[in-house]
A and B are shown apart, each in its own frame.
Chain A
Amino acid sequence: MNASPATTATPPSRDANPFATCWTRPGALPWRGDIDAVVERLHRCEWRGQVVGPHGSGKSTLILSLIEPLREAGKRPVIVDVLTDDDPQGDTLLVEAFERLPRREQRRRLAQWRESGLGYVVTTHRPLRSWLAPLPVVADAAPDESVVAALYGQLIERRSTPVTLGDALASFASHDGDLRETWFDLYSLHESRRRRTLPPVVAYSERKPAPQDRGATLL
């Protein structure tokens, strides 16, 4: 079987778009804040705290970035999914999306982990407040333009793109600081500019049925 004639078009690959999920998902990009300061705060709070921030602000990235420093500190961190992990194996639980649990269940879990002597870091959109056992905020995930610029620079370091830093900052502003949405935006922008085609537009109009047509189908 013969292949088609020679072409020079680049085959599709993950390098085709610097804003693809594989480059921007939590863990693929580094936490741009002072991770040592976060670990130090955790240490002072007996390895118990919360990371607060809105959607796409980098909470998951921070949680993943904590794994190695915690190991170096002699802890045994483990990522926990609160909906499925009933018996996590580790001494410091890194808990994502803690808010998915009802308030009552949140309190029960925290009390259970405390009684078991476990450390835990939970991610939340709004600070958890408790009179009985306040949970210190060890990091406030709120990326700013300098973080976007640094991450943008890192992403395009080895992959060219028609998307500019100005595009990135404008998208970041329009999404109220949501980095995840910003990367989605830039991914689409890169694709549409690379293909040099307009995004598909579907336009149609609907004619209102005339009064005599209404109900005709009911007969």
Chain B
Amino acid sequence: MNEPVVEDEGAQLWVDRGARRYAPGELLTGGYRLADWRDDDLTAIEFSVLWYTAGQGEEDFFVHHFDRQKAAVLPKRHDETPYRFEVVMPASPLSYDGQIVKVCWAARLRAFFRSGKQRVIETPFWLSLPSDKPPAVETSNGEAAPLR
């Protein structure tokens, strides 16, 4: 697996082709593993796909997909087959990397433990039109270069 993976105590979350761009109407796919989270008396997990704004000023967010599972229905600890998710992406809002405000899409996994503690891991991804030009990224010599 060469997707960008976020990890926390062995728990993993990733979006397939996470370094690429998803288009409106496309099927977002990915998976997650709970790993050592189970050792902490896990009571439930929530998986969501959402967008939020970040930057300067007030923040806004909207949950596009939400799924909650109680610990009772989770497979046993030894079963490390990753959970798979599939979510059809909406037409908008598209990801936007502005200077003052950013529109960010992310897949998020939140775990609830008996102690009242919560743990969250989140992986961002792009939602953009196929015709959108990729943004410039910094090259090794520090100059901005368009992606090809």
Contact = CB atoms under 8 A, between A and B. Distances in A.
Contacts of B142: 196
Interface string B118-129: 000010111010
B20 interface: yes
B54 A12 contact: yes
A188 B56 CA distance: 9
B96 to A, nearest CB: 7
Given A4-B132, A195-B144, A11 B124 contact: yes
Among A15, A21, A184, the one with the most B-chain Cβ atoms within 10 Å of its Cβ is A21
A13 B54 contact: yes
B21 A16 contact: no
Given A9-B134, A12-B124, A16-B102, A21 B57 contact: yes
Contacts of A187: 55-56
A6 B17 CA distance: 8
* Chain A interface helix/strand/loop/mixed: loop
A11 B143 CA distance: 19
B52 A14 contact: yes
A22 interface: yes
A21 B55 contact: yes
B25 interface: yes
B26 A9 contact: no
B109 interface: no
A2 interface: yes
A91 interface: no
A6 B56 contact: no
Given A12-B97, A12-B104, A196-B138, A1 B25 contact: yes
Interface in A132-168: none
Given A3-B17, A3-B26, A11 B99 contact: no
Contact of A20 (B26, B55, B103, B143): B55
B130 A11 contact: no
B97 A4 contact: no
A4 B129 CA distance: 8
Nearest to A187: B56
A192 interface: yes
B56 A3 contact: no
A76 B104 CA distance: 37
Contact of B20 (A3, A188, A191): A3
B36 interface: no
Contacts of B132: 4
Nearest to A14: B54
Given A1-B26, A14-B104, A17-B54, A7 B21 contact: yes
B144 A188 contact: no
Contacts of A21: 54-59
Nearest first, the 10 closest Cβ-Cβ pairs linking A and B are A13-B124, A12-B102, A11-B124, A12-B97, A14-B54, A7-B134, A191-B99, A11-B126, A12-B104, A13-B104
Given A16-B102, A21-B57, 7 more contacts: A4-B21, A12-B97, A13-B122, A17-B55, A21-B54, A192-B99, A196-B144
